[in-house]
A and B are shown apart, each in its own frame.
Chain A
Amino acid sequence: MRTLLFLLRKEFRQIFRNKSLLPMIFVAPLLQLLILPLAANYEVKNINIAVVDHDHSSYSQRLVSKITASGYFRLAGYYNSYSEAFALVEKDRADLVLEIPAAFERNLVREGQQQLFVAVNAINGAKAGLGAAYLGSIIRDFNAGVRMEWIQSPRFEPAPAIEVVSSNWYNPFMNYNFFMVPAILAVLVTMIGGYMTALNIVKEKEIGTIEQINVSPVRKYHFILGKLIPFWVIGMFIFTMGLGVIAWQVYGITPQGSILLLYGVLAVYLLAVLGFGLLISTFCDTQQQAMSLAFFFIMIMMMMSGLFTPIDSMPDWAKAIAYLSPATYFIEVMRMVVLKGSGFADIKFHFLVICLFAVVLNGWAVLNYRKTS
């Protein structure tokens, strides 16, 4: 026990003395948490639309002004020919081309129907899909407005229509930050914990001090605990700052569920993450190797964790990989507890899986860490 105290004192001294590392540990994650949610936003805005109007009628004018007034579209240009408008798409200055045919107004009034043509730049699939969908609904709305003007009084039963009314649960204003901030915080804690542990231990290998420890009576578990505890404490601290300062003060997110439960899961999750870092360190001899190896896994963990894209829409093999990463479970827990106010019963399975990761990763690392070769 006394040995552990000496190891911990040394570790904390070294961490707080490292002037270039300290900002990376304490400031960088909070800055990232401040910046990333603004960028990682799925709401598509500023879709550039090029309009080709062959009609120049009052109806076509009204349609165009309705589109630009929606706030989602920006008029990139107003043209007389399709090829002129498409040139803008080729230069990547327009995402959509809306072509209004000649005699649009006349056919609409006389025959009660008309066709419009929309060309979509589908390089950015999400933007294209959503842009086309928004445009579709604006045109439908326009269509309904036109019908209202024509049918003065309901002499006949209006055409039966089903209108869908939705109510947004858990995130009533569909604020993207509510969805992203807790998950990004989870990822940041993962990165800090994984990288720092792996690099710290490998650094001792690189400069040779680990040999001086290995030749002493320090027990393997003392050494490992001496490395894990400081980063566990730091992980807890960063999480607290992220939740209390950035999420709450900046984004106004307060966990709906129990904070205690959140910390309980975090405590075990951090163990799993640190075990991952420890395991990486046992396979590497230089910090460069450790950095590359940790980067490889953390990248996969991050991209496949459901942070950006729903896991349900991944192919089966990708789902299998996603569920092999502890980050996936922790991000789900974060979202469930913070947004839905889930209780322990709801996240019990996640919690058990995270426990299992902690045991397996640490166990494997301890087995793999040798004082003798």
Chain B
Amino acid sequence: MNEATISCNGLTKQFGDFKAVDHITFEVKAGEIFGFLGANGAGKTTAMRMLCGLSVPTSGQARVAGFNVFKQAEEIKKNIGYMSQKFSLYEDLTVLENIRFFGGIYGLSNKQLKEKSEDLIRQLGLQNVAGTLVGSLPLGWKQKLAFSVAVLHQPRIVFLDEPTGGVDPVTRRQFWDLIYDAAERGVTIFVTTHYMDEAEYCNRVSIMVDGRIEALDTPANLKQQFSAGTMDEVFYQLARGAQRKAD
């Protein structure tokens, strides 16, 4: 539990004059559920993209799963799962085809693919729609499927960018059950969200304001530190000082 799977030091991304991410420094420990909070436009997605090897940092250092984000982006990619804000399974492929495709490109063997896809479909209760095009599923099912596909290859870390946007509270709760399951199997969870009840589910939470990390601790400690009753209040106190317009 004590080994750091993600560590950033002064990580910065600059677009022209604009510092989207401004010297952020933090560590995420193995097996942790790490909440990465911030208002729209605070730089969360940019920071996450750098950690996933999708975007090259302007300066600073970062290691993900023991690999350098500058030099070993491809090694990082073998060890992480990623679920973006945009739903990114293929809507014109069936549930089973999506599972097999993404499992396949992560190098799972045919035997593993068969077993895992069966397990996953059973676990999500999708037996009846395994041969249905993903595009015709309800959003909540899609999100759960996308998450399960992102952890199919047993990555060490999974990055979730607002995974529960637009889904109902019951489905969100079920989604978090999946997250807990994965965390129990030892997967580190790095999740951004706008729902403060979800922030409470995290082991530790960081709050980004204008590209910088303004607070980082357990939800309980943060509430104490800001003498707030809920995470909502903590977030409000920090985020109302933001200069940037929401995107």
A1-33 interface code vs B (CB 8 A; 1 in, 0 out): 011011101100110011000000000000000
* B89 cross-chain contacts in A, Cβ below 8 A: 209, 212
Q: How far is the CA of A6 from the CA of B93 in the complex (A)?
A: 13
Are A208 and B87 within 8 A (Cβ)? yes
Q: How far is the CA of A312 from the CA of B52 in the complex (A)?
A: 55
Name the prevailing secondary structure of the B interface residues: loop
Q: For the side of the interface on A, what is the size category?
A: 20 to 34
Interface residues of A in 204-252 (CB under 8 A from B): 207-209, 211-218
Are A217 and B74 within 8 A (Cβ)? yes
Q: How far is the CA of A10 from the CA of B94 in the complex (A)?
A: 11
* B84 cross-chain contacts in A, Cβ below 8 A: 208, 211-212
Are A7 and B87 within 8 A (Cβ)? no
Interface residues of A in 174-191 (CB under 8 A from B): none
Are A6 and B104 within 8 A (Cβ)? yes
Q: How far is the CA of A209 from the CA of B92 in the complex (A)?
A: 12
CB distance from B233 to the nearest CB of A (A): 34
Q: Does B55 contact A (CB under 8 A)?
A: yes
Q: Does A373 contact B (CB under 8 A)?
A: yes
With most chain A CB atoms within 10 A of its CB, the pick from B56, B84, B93, B105 is B105
Given contacts A215-B53, A372-B55, A372-B56, contact A209 B88 (CB under 8 A): yes
Are A215 and B82 within 8 A (Cβ)? yes
Q: Does A348 contact B (CB under 8 A)?
A: no
Name the prevailing secondary structure of the A interface residues: helix
* B73 cross-chain contacts in A, Cβ below 8 A: 371-372
Question: Closest B-chain residue to A216, C-beta based?
Answer: B105
Given contacts A217-B74, A372-B55, contact A212 B107 (CB under 8 A): no
B68-112 interface code vs A (CB 8 A; 1 in, 0 out): 000001100110101010111111110001001110111100000
B190-227 interface code vs A (CB 8 A; 1 in, 0 out): 00000000000000000000000000000000000000
Q: Does B54 contact A (CB under 8 A)?
A: yes
> Residues of B within 8 Å of A, CB-based: how many?
28
CB distance from A199 to the nearest CB of B (A): 14
Are A3 and B92 within 8 A (Cβ)? no
Given contacts A211-B86, A216-B77, A372-B54, contact A6 B92 (CB under 8 A): no
Given contacts A17-B92, A215-B54, A217-B74, contact A207 B86 (CB under 8 A): yes
Q: How far is the CA of A371 from the CA of B77 in the complex (A)?
A: 11
* A7 cross-chain contacts in B, Cβ below 8 A: 105
Are A2 and B56 within 8 A (Cβ)? no
Q: How far is the CA of A13 from the CA of B88 in the complex (A)?
A: 17
A245-268 interface code vs B (CB 8 A; 1 in, 0 out): 000000000000000000000000
Are A6 and B101 within 8 A (Cβ)? yes
CB distance from B102 to the nearest CB of A (A): 7
Q: How far is the CA of A217 from the CA of B53 in the complex (A)?
A: 11
Q: How far is the CA of A360 from the CA of B131 in the complex (A)?
A: 42
Given contacts A13-B97, A211-B84, contact A217 B92 (CB under 8 A): no
* B87 cross-chain contacts in A, Cβ below 8 A: 208
Are A211 and B54 within 8 A (Cβ)? yes
Are A13 and B93 within 8 A (Cβ)? yes
Selected contact of A6 from candidates B56, B78, B90, B105, CB within 8 Å: B105
Q: How far is the CA of A215 from the CA of B77 in the complex (A)?
A: 6
* B56 cross-chain contacts in A, Cβ below 8 A: 372-373
Question: Closest B-chain residue to A4, C-beta based?
Answer: B105
CB distance from B117 to the nearest CB of A (A): 13
Are B97 and A2 within 8 A (Cβ)? no
* A17 cross-chain contacts in B, Cβ below 8 A: 92
Q: How far is the CA of A215 from the CA of B87 in the complex (A)?
A: 14
Selected contact of A10 from candidates B53, B54, B86, B93, CB within 8 Å: B93
Q: How far is the CA of A7 from the CA of B93 in the complex (A)?
A: 12
* A207 cross-chain contacts in B, Cβ below 8 A: 86, 88, 91
**Shortest Cβ-Cβ A-B pairs, 3 listed:** A208-B86, A6-B104, A212-B88
A207-B91, A209-B90 given; name 10 further pairs at CB < 8 Å.
Answer: A3-B104, A3-B105, A9-B101, A13-B93, A208-B84, A209-B88, A215-B54, A216-B77, A218-B105, A373-B56
